[in-house]
Structure 1
Amino acid sequence: MTSRWDDLFADLEGQIAAHRRAELEGEVAERVRVERARIGLGDRLAAQLASRVTLRTVDGGRVDGTLRDVGADWVRLGQGRTTLLVPVGAVVTVAGLGPRSRPAEGDPGRRITWVTVLRELSRDRLPVRVCLTTGYVIEGRVDRVMSDHLDLAVGPDPRQPAVTETVPFAAVCWVGARED
């Protein structure tokens, strides 16, 4: 009779242990889901700095390069001696992105916005190429940057009066500049 009782209690203990393991596995899985829900694209991109990635953009094009910086709403890719600044809103897909992530807290570079970067280009008067969501590319210099658009001075000589084209940020796929 003792053996029967021992078997019964052993079976009950096994069931309780299995139930606890299942509960724990469920809790762990839920915590993983909650943690993943907090990870933004910028967090994943920031963890891949110095990696090669391919971005498909809203114009149907693709840009390849080495991931150099990640800001609040933009990424910087290196292509040899050219830098491409891509607003995250123009990115349709990313190839070459690993599963790691790096949260933005404590990283001052991640607070730099698209507008701030464009204002630096305007200050430096560097020649740029701006690819629009239509696929059309405009060459010129960033003349002025407002809250949601920029004025691009189009013309071969920066000392001469130029035609200005106003470009809403929503129409920009990327901005490219040479690193001379």
Structure 2
Amino acid sequence: MRWNDLFADLEAQMSAAERAQFQTEVQDLTRSERAGIELAARLVSAKGRTIGLTLTDGETVRGVLVDAAAQWLLLGATGPQTLVPVRAIALVSGLPPRTTELTEVEKRLGIGHALRALARDRARVIVDTVAGSTAGLVGVVGADFIEVSTTVGASVAVPMAAITRVRAAG
């Protein structure tokens, strides 16, 4: 009888050790999986939801996430829309707990693609940077800058790295 108790105790200890090891492995795999998730993937999963952003210039923006790609997101299902480079985001609130993997198209659509669409549509915009704002039409979209026509015959070049957001001029 004592032998049965001894073997039962050893079996229970081994079972507990196996469960603990399994839990540790699951936690390690979960942490490893999460380490590969990029912010853009979290943002894409929030399409259709209202999110809040604090930008690197300290401004806050809130709206429905209409579209997103690896380098940018578009807020504003109704009313004026705002294009925000992902690199200009300091904080995000309102993200769902799940993550959606970026499609190949979303991975390749850079901020330049979105800015060229604004230039093509001759949209009046306000370009916000850490140094201030410039209003006008997006004209030239270069490799790393845009030109904003502020008045007839006058324009300013804005490095893409300085842009914190591009808003529709009301």
User: Aligned in 2, Cα 1:50/1:79: closer, same or farther, shift over 3 Å?
Assistant: closer
- Quick one: percent identity of the two aligned structures? 37
Instruction: Tell me which residue corresponds to 2:118.
Output: 121
Q: Unaligned regions of 5+ residues in structure 1, if any?
A: 156-160
Instruction: Tell me which residue corresponds to 1:23.
Output: 21
Determine helix, strand or coil for the equivalent of 2:143.
coil
The one-letter code sitting in structure 2 at the alignment partner of 1:175 is V
Instruction: Tell me which residue corresponds to 2:141.
Output: 145
How far apart are 1:96 and its partner, in Å?
Answer: 1.3
Aligned equivalents of 1:162, 1:71: Cα separation in 2: 33
Match of 2:130 among 129, 133, 136: 133
Find out whether 1:32 has 2:30 as its counterpart. Answer: yes
Match of 2:158 among 150, 158, 167: 167
Match of 2:86 among 68, 85, 88: 88
Determine helix, strand or coil for the equivalent of 1:82.
coil
Runs of 4 or more consecutive aligned structure 1 residues displaced over 3 Å after TM superposition: none
Instruction: Tell me which residue corresponds to 1:158.
Output: none
How far apart are 1:178 and its partner, in Å?
Answer: 5.8
Q: Unaligned regions of 5+ residues in structure 2, if any?
A: none
Determine helix, strand or coil for the equivalent of 1:16.
helix
Deviations 1:81-105, CA, capped at 9 Å, x for gaps: 211000001000011122211011x
Is the 1:52–1:67 contact (alpha carbons within 8 Å) kept by the matching residues of 2? yes
The one-letter code sitting in structure 2 at the alignment partner of 1:171 is A
Is the 1:128–1:175 contact (alpha carbons within 8 Å) kept by the matching residues of 2? yes
Aligned equivalents of 1:109, 1:11: Cα separation in 2: 56
Per the normalisation by structure 1, the TM-score is 0.89
User: Aligned in 2, Cα 1:77/1:50: closer, same or farther, shift over 3 Å?
Assistant: same
Find out whether 1:99 has 2:97 as its counterpart. Answer: yes
Aligned equivalents of 2:128, 2:15: Cα separation in 1: 61
Give me the CA root mean square deviation.
Answer: 1.5
Deviations 1:1-52, CA, capped at 9 Å, x for gaps: xx10001100110111011101110110011001101111111111111111
Is the 1:50–1:67 contact (alpha carbons within 8 Å) kept by the matching residues of 2? yes
The structure with the larger Rg is 1
